[in-house]
Chains A and B, each alone.
Chain A
Amino acid sequence: MQPGSSATGIRSGNIILGNIHQIYEKTDNWKVVVDNVDSLVIFNDEAHNTKAEQYNDLINKLKPKRFFRLDTTATPDRLDGLHPDSKMIYVYGIAEAMRDKIIKRIVVFHPDVSKVSLTYDDLETGKTISAEEVPWEEIEKRKISARRYITNVKPMRQQMAIALELLKKQRLATTNSKYKPLLFVIAVSINDAKNIARELEKIGPKYDVNKILEVHNESEDELKEEAKNLNKNPRPDVDAVVSVMMLREGWDVRNICVELLFRKFCYKTVEDKRYSVYGPQVIGRGLRRMSKSDKEWESLYVVDHPILKHQWLWEDLKATEYPDDIDPANIIIDEEKIKPEKNEEQLEEKTLEQAEMERFDLSKIPPTPDPVGVVEPIYEWQKYLDECKFEFSKMNISQEISQIKSLNLDSEHVSLQKNDIPEVDVQILEKATNTEQWDKKELIEQLEKQILSIARSALLEYDRNPDERQIILIKIIKNHIAKRFLYGKPVEEAEEKPLRILWAMIDQVRDIFMQPELIEGILSNK
């Protein structure tokens, strides 16, 4: 099945290859398959999509003709806990694949933040209302949205600078490769993607990152096409790709060497098992290997931040069976059992360290990390929405980084370094409510657009299926907005001033609806 070509070819072929859309959209194709093929063996790739209603329906209609069906998917888990209706017969995880070295090895980086300065500016006057300095542990207790923190200008730029330093390193590592390393940046909303791309344009050139491709629903088709074709050229002009939800399964660009996360991935726990889709899927985009050599093994660097609390994800992706098989070709020879040489200096050092043992309390060693918390659905969602707190001021975050750490998921090696902490300068920003020059009519249109996009992304985040349930969510979002920001009036009837304030706050509204536990609560007791 090929777009634009006739369906008749299907009749004579033994192997029919196509994607589901060529059947959805071209009824001819479907008709020829149903009328002319007696017995089918179905190889159903990306089978996690089979739970989408239309897809499921279609594949069930083929059941009478079906002799055998094999489902394959890299992400069998869905946040809704549903599986393709086939039996799991074989599992090959990222951990094993990493051990077999058929994918890149994952190295996660994050900064250690010692303290954070928070200043709050009045939305209208731009005057600072309050400023405080808090230690990192305190930040973890406050309920600052992770997205809001990480997309705040200074932390955002620092994360970028870390990623750009790492890209530089990857360029070093690929001097003999035909591939040019790319940076892949992941945002949660179109607004964020635009801001991120704008910032990246400012600090990128210093690191020779000049061409940035921004891909999301509102991008021009030409750009989407360019992103799709990135895998066709090992040395594209593009240096970095900023994407929202667009580039997932099927987008396999070997060149991705650094991934920068500006979003928090969620998971759901059903009967003690963790389900997550986006996390592994997004990381998976950068895992295809560039070279076939087993002498050297490429890494995918992922830039994370402690505020995103992704510890569960790195636990899920771990592949800790070390150390002997890191040398797969068995080139290095280990001549063990050589008589230990006792030189004086070492002996002296040992005694000193023993002395310290007594002097310094070993209980200072950090405890094992806490188990990840289980997220409960919010059944009393109306109460939750009525009581949730908004920050009616602009928050500026400035964090002090003490060192940058890396964790190698396969070997568990951790590196700590204080020398590559990026210095970034941030200019004073314009007042939040005045950044857009729209008149009231345009503002209302933009807000309506935002409401639709919040409903859509909320469902995408919840179970990757933005279907007619959007209507329920839109109603709830509009109701929530009217109640909390517009003195009970709908968007189209509200005064201009509260509308402008709402515009400055809309990302906070988005953060609330991006919580799968809220959507679960709403949808389970409509």
Chain B
Amino acid sequence: MISKRGKLTNLEKNVEGFCKYDSVLEREYMVELERDPAVKSWTKSHGIKIPYNFLGFSRSYLPDFLVEFQDGSKELHETKGLPLLFWLSTKLKAESAEEYCKNRGLKYKRITKGRRAFYRKVD
């Protein structure tokens, strides 16, 4: 995945009005969130840390986006390029995040790019 960093400003739905991005995918997805009529607000500075266990070490994981919808429901969205989707750490983070969300009435969604992830099996 191309790594590209920068900052988007003049954002209407972002809580702070601006937001930094760490990858092309993240940047694109931030624009998606801005343009989605169902989204009420979104932020990267949500302070949510999800503990997970990696090969016996306990670590914590910061999901990318906290998204609030028009009806008040909330979701955590994690952007990951396709190769990274197959990494063990990604899987472990996702499992912990799903558990975390389930207990708090949130929903967890992984976002990637490319048709391969759509047509073929990705767990």
A residues at B contact (CB < 8 Å): 108, 110, 112, 169-170, 172-177, 295-298, 311, 314, 322-323, 326-327, 331-338, 340, 345, 349, 352-353, 356, 359-360, 362, 364-369, 402-403, 405-408, 411-420
Contacts and interface: CB of A to CB of B under 8 A. Distances in A.
Nearest to B12: A331
B10 A412 contact: no
A326 B32 contact: yes
A179 to B, nearest CB: 12
A175 B70 contact: yes
Contacts of B98: 418-419
Contacts of A337: 6
A323 B28 contact: yes
Contact of B119 (A311, A340, A353, A416): A311
14 contacts: A110-B118, A169-B38, A298-B37, A338-B5, A345-B62, A360-B86, A365-B83, A366-B119, A368-B116, A405-B117, A411-B28, A412-B114, A418-B108, A419-B101
Contacts of B7: 334-336, 338
A414 B108 contact: no
Given A336-B6, A407-B115, 20 more contacts: A172-B69, A172-B71, A176-B37, A311-B119, A332-B8, A333-B8, A333-B10, A335-B8, A356-B87, A356-B89, A366-B121, A367-B120, A408-B32, A411-B28, A413-B29, A415-B111, A416-B110, A416-B112, A416-B117, A417-B107
Contacts of A414: 111-115, 117-118
B60 to A, nearest CB: 9
Contacts of A338: 5-7, 20
A308 to B, nearest CB: 13
A412 B113 contact: yes
Nearest to B110: A416
Contacts of B123: 402-403
A331 B12 CA distance: 9
A326 B35 contact: yes
B27 A335 contact: no
A334 B116 CA distance: 29
B36 A417 contact: no
Contact of A415 (B12, B54, B109): B109
B27 A323 contact: yes
How many B residues are at the interface, by size bracket? 35 or more
A419 to B, nearest CB: 5
A173 B38 contact: yes
B102 interface: yes
Contacts of B121: 112, 366
A341 to B, nearest CB: 8
A326 B5 contact: no
A333 B107 contact: no
Interface string B31-62: 11011111000000000000000100000001
A418 B69 CA distance: 18
A365 B29 contact: no
A326 B27 CA distance: 12
A211 to B, nearest CB: 23
Contacts of B15: none
Contacts of B102: 419
Contact of B35 (A172, A297, A311, A416): A297
Interface of B: 4-12, 20, 22, 24, 27-29, 31-32, 34-38, 54, 62, 69-71, 82-84, 86-89, 98, 101-102, 107-123
A178 to B, nearest CB: 13
A415 B35 contact: no
A362 B83 contact: yes
A502 to B, nearest CB: 38
Contacts of B120: 366-367, 369
A170 B37 CA distance: 9
A407 B102 CA distance: 24
B89 A352 contact: yes
Among A170, A356, A360, A414, find the residue whose CB has the most chain B CB atoms closer than 10 A.
Answer: A414
B118 A405 contact: yes
A359 B88 CA distance: 10
Contacts of A359: 88
Nearest to A364: B86
Contacts of B11: 332
B20 to A, nearest CB: 7
B5 A340 contact: yes
A273 B118 CA distance: 24
Nearest to B9: A333
B101 to A, nearest CB: 7
A417 B101 CA distance: 12
Contacts of B89: 349, 352-353, 356
Minimum-distance CB pairs A-B, first 3: A366-B120, A173-B38, A336-B6
A330 B106 CA distance: 32
A506 B48 CA distance: 57
A172 B38 contact: yes
Nearest to B122: A416
Contact of B31 (A332, A353, A405): A332
A296 B12 CA distance: 12
Contacts of B112: 413-416
B76 to A, nearest CB: 10
A333 B11 CA distance: 8
Given A414-B113, A416-B112, A420-B107, A322 B6 contact: no
B28 to A, nearest CB: 4
Nearest to A369: B119
Given A332-B8, A402-B123, A352 B54 contact: yes
A334 B20 CA distance: 9
A301 to B, nearest CB: 11
Contacts of B83: 362, 365
B37 A174 contact: yes
